[in-house]
Structure 1
Amino acid sequence: MMIDAPVPKPDGRQSQTAAAIQRGVLRFLAAHGQAGLPEVSLASGRRADVLALDAKGALSIIEIKSSVTDFRTDAKWPEYRPFCDRLLFAVGVDFPLELLPDDVGILVADAFGAELIRAAPEHPLAAATRKALTLRFARAAAGRLAGLYDPDLRPAQEW
């Protein structure tokens, strides 16, 4: 299991476009009663762009694609499906939606919000996987919040 930093710092890999889409996605999630947590490490070693938790405990992964090139060169997204009830892509307003797979949800976003273009099909998680992911979400979120209160915080164990 990887340790999430208390508050992830930009690593230079995320473009301004991706950061704007992320902001809009987080605003969309909050407006729809979901908690969104960016950059969450999964048990597979992959990192979800945004992991969202709704009031019923359903987990969604939102994969941000900032450009057509980003989409075409990143083939890891199918590996996220076993870690969520719903998988969505979030793209900018100029992204050609016809390039996206039919079996994922679609959000179109900018820095101010997002619009759900297509709902994601549901693939219910096994109970044990849901519990593990929910705990990972809660521990990462709590660790990041604690890091805001104490920027020098160094956890004695993994979040």
Structure 2
Amino acid sequence: MMQPPLSDLQPGQVLARGTARALASLGFDSLPEMVLRPRLRADLMAVGRKGEIWIVECKSSRSDFQSDRKWQGYLEWCDRYFWAVDADFPTELLPEETGLFIADGYGAEMIREAPLSQLAPARRKALTLDFARAAARRLHRLCDPGLAGEAGAPGAF
């Protein structure tokens, strides 16, 4: 599948693309726009080789960050929580108890690793299954564009 040119992407999508590339180099496979529960959608959810789950929220501006009232709700859905911002973002706004990537459309660099807060085994299993099913649905839609999607399914895109 052809990637749209960067000029066709929203600023947060550009950050997500570069961060997903960096995550892959760290051994993490990611999905953009992963639904965790109603009204809570992670910009990127990534699963590592050992099953560790990371969430990355992409913020394209000061106002984008300041208008986000739900970011702390993501903490209970991952082992590590990160922000991805561009090089011009005022990083002093971001909580120090979270991880940080500086990103662009081509890659990202981890500036600060997020602290580990291990998920409960039952939540990890449920999230891993949701991640796998969402990835399979998305792949199926690419292979069969006429497929009717499951509205409201976790990870639906």
TM bin (shorter chain):
0.7 to 0.9
In the alignment, which residue of structure 2 is the partner of 1:75?
69
Instruction: Output the TM-score relative to the length of structure 1.
Output: 0.87
CA 1:39–1:156 in 2, change beyond 3 Å: closer, same or farther? Answer: closer
Q: CA deviation at 1:45?
A: 3.6
- 1:8-39 deviations in Å (ceiling 9; x for gaps): xxxxxxx7321211110111011111101000
For residue 142 of structure 2, what is the aligned residue in structure 1? 148
SS in 2 for 1:37: strand
Which deviations, in whole Å up to 9, do the C-alpha atoms of 1:69-94 show, x marking residues without a partner? 00011111000000000000000110
Question: SS where residue 57 of structure 1 aligns?
Answer: coil
Q: TM-score, normalised by structure 2?
A: 0.88
The equivalent residue for 1:10 is none
Give the corresponding residue for 1:117: 111
Q: Which amino acid aligns with 1:22?
A: A
Among 27, 34, 48, which residue is 1:33 paired with?
A: 27
* Distance in structure 2 (CA, Å) of the matches to 1:156 and 1:62: 25
User: How many pairs are equivalent?
Assistant: 146
User: Structure 2 unaligned runs (5+)?
Assistant: 1-8
SS of aligned partner of 2:87: coil
Aligned counterparts of 1:87 and 1:78: Cα–Cα separation in 2: 9
**Percentage identity across aligned positions?**
49
Show the counterpart of 2:53: 59
Q: What is the deviation of 1:44?
A: 4.9
Quick one: structure 1 residues 124 and 147, their matched pair in 2 at CA, closer, same or farther if it must change by over 3 Å?
A: same
Instruction: After TM superposition, give the deviation of residue 43 of structure 1 in Å.
Output: 2.8
Query: What's the secondary structure of 1:87's corresponding residue?
Result: strand
Shift of 1:102: 1.0
Higher relative contact order structure (alpha carbons within 8 Å, sequence separation ≥ 6) = 1
When structure 1 is superposed on structure 2, of 104-113 and 146-155 the one drifting more is: 146-155
Partner letter of residue 38 of structure 1?
Answer: P
Counterpart amino acid of residue 73 in structure 1 = S
